[in-house]
Amino acid sequence: MPKVALYSMSGEQLGEVDLNEDVFGVPVHRQAMHDAVTAHLARRRRGTHDTKTRAQVSGSGKKPWRQKGTGRARSGSRQSPIWKGGGVVFGPHPRDYGYKLPKKIRRLALKSALSSKVEAGEIKVLDALTMDQPKTKDMASVLKKLSIDNKAVIVTAGNDQNVYKSARNLPGVKSLSAGSLNVYDLLSFGTLVITKDAVSTVEEVLTR
């Protein structure tokens, strides 16, 4: 069973906390993580690109010249795709690029990402993380006391607005609730800072 240090907000080590081996100690499955990140980025695509077909471009519907006797090729429309200013054939149109991975793959990817953080020693478990009011300076102080000087993702059990607002202006720092935890953010940020309550929430969800 993986064990990691338990810290206070002042950076003091309070002891150790046992992590669920079925969540934080599984063999890292790189392909599952790759698939999860690809699906995440696909869902973020706006898909608003659009081109006009020959039915949408402006222009007269009159036949440019008579069918025979001119010596030129037959033509019936100025909106033809082979003409300058004509419609686009098989061009892009608004669409949704998102797709869903199977539930087992999504869970395996998230467990693999969490386990990779434990293997790399890039996880800090806090006994509690509370902010009386949103203050970036206080959050910066907490991270400094935890010896975190690189990018970090902060995970709390619930949607704590004071923690979120205190972290959002720090470069390279992102705050999430346990329910919003995803593989992309775990792999994008160096250190995972997670509260003890959030660990319990994540373990409960991923071991159902």
Q: Which domains does the chain have, with CATH numbers?
A: 3-46+101-206 (3.40.1370.10), 51-91 (no CATH)
Task: Report the pLDDT value the prediction gives residue 199, as an integer from 0 to 100.
Answer: 94
As to burial, measured by CB atoms within 10 angstroms (0-12 exposed, 13-18 middle, 19+ buried), residue 151 is middle
In the chain, which stretches have pLDDT less than 50? none
Q: What pLDDT shows up at residue 126?
A: 94
Q: Order of strands, edge to edge, in the sheet holding 123-126?
A: 13-18, 3-7, 123-126, 191-195, 152-156, 173-177
CB 43 within 8 A of CB 59: no
pLDDT at 58: 93
DSSP state of 178: G
For residues 110 and 117, the answer to whether their CB atoms sit within 8 Å is no
Lookup: tokens for 79? 């909106």
pLDDT of residue 7: 93
CA atoms of 80 and 92, how far apart (whole Å): 17
From CA 71, how far away is CA 103, in angstroms rounded?
A: 64
Query: Which pLDDT does position 98 carry in this prediction?
Result: 96
How far apart are alpha carbons 208 and 198 in whole angstroms?
Answer: 16
Report d(CA 11, CA 21) in Å as an integer.
25
- Confidence (pLDDT) at 208: 80
CA pair distance 164, 169, nearest whole angstrom: 9
User: If DSSP codes are grouped into helix, strand and coil, which group holds residue 193?
Assistant: strand
Predicted TM-score (pTM) of the model is 0.84
Which residue, among 169, 178, 176, has the nearest Cα to 140 in the 3D structure?
169
Distance CA 203, CA 23 (A): 6
pLDDT at 35: 97
Give the whole-angstrom CA distance, residue 14 versus residue 39. Answer: 39
Residue 72: its pLDDT value, please? 95
| CA-wise closest residue to 7 among 126, 107, 119 | 126
